[in-house]
């Protein structure tokens, strides 16, 4: 009974009010560790580098005020403000408009931190291609990734069901193993990602061929650290007329 009544863990992205250059900061909200809205706002203030204390969260489209932790929606985006008015900018929601960000755990593995995949809109309707790309990076012991499951074990049946900012488990031919994967996200010390994988689209000039390339050179990988939303980063072409470029950022040591 206690487990069923526990408050859910939520993943949200927070932007700085009126700042068109801030790409948003992701937070895992666990009410076992952050019990009040005031405590969460204090954490947001420190994490996003706000010039003044954050007093309010707003929804990015309509500017509605969020006054309670229970009102936060997992996978949603919010704007952090002090006492100033909400400022609506087109730069909010850069990921949800053209990209989805997924956090993927290995099935049954509580020692390996999650992988983060950032996938462009042109691939968001091709679940098989997404599974293929995930297979290359997560290296399941049982082989290829056959499906993605929610943390509760519900299989994703189409790419359209994937939600940005949410966590999934990569499963092969074996059964889904329901484990406390989220504990890797709510650890008190900063999260060490296994890797961050940016997938972006460019014209290859060779229709009908999809290629994935991994750059292991650290200097080259730094070029993909920030993906800005513009006309060059989300080319609208059929999937069979674009190439796939994968940059892998491998963490070398734990964050201090």
Do the domain assignments include residue 92? no
Distance between CA atoms of residues 100 and 159, nearest Å = 11
Q: Does residue 229 form part of some domain? A: yes
The verdict on 32 and 118 lying in the same domain is no
Give how far Cα 127 sits from Cα of 108, 146, 162, 187, Å: 22, 10, 9, 31
The answer on 150 and 58 residing in a single domain is no
* One domain for residues 103 and 60: no
We report the CATH number of the domain holding residue 144 as 3.10.20.230
For residues 241 and 145, state if they share a domain: yes
How far apart (Å, rounded) are the C-alpha atoms in residues 92 and 16?
Answer: 9
Could you tell me the residue range of the domain that residue 208 belongs to?
A: 97-250
Which is more confidently placed, 229 or 83? 83
224 within 8 A of 190, measured Cβ to Cβ: no
pLDDT at 5 over 70: no
Residue 120 lies in a domain: yes
Total of domains in the chain: 2
Higher pLDDT, 133 or 232: 133
Tokens at residue 157, please?
């049946």
Give the global pTM: 0.44
**Is-contact 91 168, C-beta < 8 A?**
no
Model confidence pLDDT, tens digit, residues 69-93: 989 988 888 999 999 999 887 656 5
Q: pLDDT grade, residue 148 (50/70/90)? A: very high
Q: Please tell me whether residues 111 and 7 are part of one structural domain.
A: no
Segment 180-189 shows an average pLDDT of 63
Residue 88 belongs to a domain: no
Contact 118, 95 (CB under 8 A): yes
Region 90-110 average pLDDT: 73
Whether residues 51 and 110 share a domain: the answer is: no
């Amino acid at each position: 009974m206690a487990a069923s009544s526990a408050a859910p863990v939520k993943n949200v992205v927070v932007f700085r009010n009126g700042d068109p250059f801030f790409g948003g900061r992701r937070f895992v909200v666990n009410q076992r560790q952050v019990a009040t809205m005031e405590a969460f706002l204090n954490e947001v203030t420190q994490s996003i580098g706000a010039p003044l204390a954050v007093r309010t969260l707003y929804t990015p489209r309509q500017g509605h005020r969020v006054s309670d932790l229970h009102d936060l929606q997992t996978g949603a985006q919010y704007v952090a403000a002090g006492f100033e008015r909400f400022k609506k900018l087109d730069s909010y929601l850069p990921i949800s408009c053209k990209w989805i960000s997924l956090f993927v755990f290995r099935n049954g593995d509580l020692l390996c931190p999650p992988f983060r995949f950032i996938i462009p809109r042109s691939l968001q309707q091709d679940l098989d291609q997404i599974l293929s790309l995930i297979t290359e990076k997560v290296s399941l012991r049982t082989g290829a990734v056959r499906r993605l499951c929610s943390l509760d074990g519900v299989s994703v049946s189409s790419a359209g069901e994937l939600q940005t900012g949410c966590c999934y488990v990569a499963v092969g031919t074996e059964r889904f193993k329901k484990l406390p994967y989220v504990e890797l996200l709510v650890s008190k010390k900063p999260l060490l990602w296994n890797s961050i994988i940016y997938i972006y689209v460019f014209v290859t000039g060779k229709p009908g061929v999809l290629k994935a390339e991994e750059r292991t050179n650290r200097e080259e990988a730094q070029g993909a650290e920030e993906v800005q939303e513009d006309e060059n980063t989300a080319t609208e072409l059929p999937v069979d007329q674009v190439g796939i470029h994968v940059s892998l950022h491998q963490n070398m040591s734990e964050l201090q």
